[in-house]
Amino acid sequence: MSQSAGFNYGWVVVGAGALMTCVGFGSMLSLAVFLQPISEAMGWSRAGVSAASTLNFLCMGVAAFFWGALSDRYGTRIVVLAGSVLLGLGLVTASMASSLWQFQLLFGVLIGVAAGAFYAPMMAIASAWIEHQRSLAVSLVSAGMGVAPLTVAPFASWLITTYDWRTAMLVIGIAASALLIPASFLVRQAPQPAAPSGADGTKAPQVEWSAAQAFRTPQFITLALAHFACCAAHSGPIFHMVSYAMVCGIAPLTAVTVYSLAGFSGLGGRLALGVMADRIGAKPVLVAGLSVQALCVATYLAVGQLGEFYALSVVFGLAYGGVMPLYAVLVREFFGARIMGTVFGAVSAFASLGMALGPWAGGWVFDTFHGYFWLYVGSFGIGLAAVAVALGFPSKRRPSQPALHLGPATA
């Protein structure tokens, strides 16, 4: 897309997207901070409370596909506005839940559906606005997820310590609505490009893709499977990071700083790997990041002291944070802007299924074995699978024709 000589409004859209991913995902992932207080106050099992996070990601996955398709058809603003209203409603009502099933329904379903409205639609519109620094732009939108542990999680922890978990969740719900509803009105559709181009500068295909054709290509299948395995590998270690640090004898507020440091490092990883992807391509950077992520998961088996947790958080955050935006870059490169919301929404749906496994699995492992050893063993194996799948990504070339069936001709 050609940019005018003046200021590109696309960077305002990128900023709004970063705020939305920060508040939206920060509110959802704050359940990691609420986990122990809710379990102790209500007498609910950790697996039961963690199941709300599993529902978050399942619902977010299903919703992301539909939100992405709606944004392609009706525009992004109405989608993120609806998500902002649902997010506030879910947090406020979940703070009033009196039974476990009510909490799982309100926090798990409403907030999951709401979170799905932000990531894929805002990544798609950011990539449409910004041409020459596209990897950086989508990385900045995704960077909101990295800022979340530095903002929402410590705020939630302070509120819980000062008041109680119900008050904390209510306040976060009100604050989320107050921030995101106005931000939704900053989102505008990107001007139509004169000559669409790929993320790597390659010429766009002359024939427009349909979503159904895109879904049958090996490019889509590989990206979806890699994103699924990537998220399945890191979701458990991230969600149970605070709880595991506390099991190792670290004080609650200090344990939250371990989680926050990983988020801060993830912010740096998104920016650094985004710049690298603009220079050398998204696929090699993705493979390298996934490899480091798998090694970090295995390293959790050898840490126990605060300094060790801090050091591992830095490297782990760089890896898992840095790889997340690269899937959007590859989707944009291969399938163009017109159906990116739909296609990346579908890829994100697979990612959400992977994210859904970790919180529940970690809670079940802890309740069953009274420790997290097998969580990290399983996550390491899945992380290696993600590397193997990413290595099999067909090519850096954009196909010149839509694929009508899966086969060698579509590679």
Domain that holds residue 236: 10-190+198-400
In the chain, the number of structural domains is: 1
Q: Report angle CA 409, 349, 14 to the nearest 5 degrees.
A: 100
- Which pLDDT value is given to residue 97? 92
Is 60 a member of any domain?
yes
More confident residue, 134 or 29: 29
Asked whether residue 241 is domain-assigned, the answer is yes
The reply to whether 249 falls in a domain is yes
What's the Cα-to-Cα distance from 331 to each of 68, 219, 233, 261, 338, rounded to whole Å? 13, 8, 21, 30, 11
- Confirm whether 405 is domain-assigned: no
Percent of residues, the chain, with pLDDT higher than 90: 32
Say how far apart CA 24 and CA 33 lie, in whole Å: 15
Note the pLDDT of residue 3. 46
C-alpha to C-alpha distance for 258 and 264, rounded to whole angstroms = 10
Report whether pLDDT(106) > 90: yes
What are the tens digits of pLDDT across the range 221-258?
999 999 999 999 998 898 888 888 888 888 877 888 88
Q: What is the CATH number of the domain that holds 74?
A: 1.20.1250.20
Give kind and range of the element (H or E) at residue 343. helix 340-369
More confident residue, 140 or 207: 140
pLDDT for res 406: 43
Question: Taking a C-beta distance cutoff of 8 angstroms, is the pair 368, 48 a contact?
Answer: no
Alpha carbons 85 and 177: distance in angstroms, whole number: 6
pLDDT of residue 197: 46
Residue 411 lies in a domain: no
Region 18-45 average pLDDT: 88
Please answer whether residues 274 and 135 qualify as being in contact, where contact means their C-beta atoms are separated by less than 8 angstroms.
yes
pLDDT 10s digits, 249-284: 888 778 888 887 887 888 788 888 878 887 888 889
Most confident option among 42-51, 112-121, 341-350, 373-382: 373-382
345 occurs within a structural domain: yes
193 confidence band (pLDDT: 50, 70, 90): low
Which tokens go with 358?
């970790």
Gap between the Cα atoms of 169 and 199, Å rounded? 40
User: Is residue 129, in this structure, part of any structural domain at all?
Assistant: yes
**Mean pLDDT lowest for which of 125-139, 161-175, 378-392?**
125-139
Burial of 377 (0-12, 13-18, 19+ CB in 10 A): middle
The model's pLDDT over 147-175, given as tens digits with 9 standing for 90+, comes to: 776 788 889 989 998 999 999 999 999 99
pLDDT in the model for residue 200: 45
Q: 159 near 27, Cβ under 8 Å? A: no
pLDDT at 46: 80
Query: With 80 as the cut, is the pLDDT of residue 198 above it?
Result: no
pTM exceeds 0.85: no
Integer CA distances (angstroms), 273 to 48, 126, 238, 269, 282, in order: 36, 17, 20, 6, 9
Tokens linked to 169: 């969740």
Tell me whether residue 38 is in a domain: yes
Q: Is the pLDDT of residue 195 over 60?
A: no
Share of the chain above pLDDT 70, in %: 89
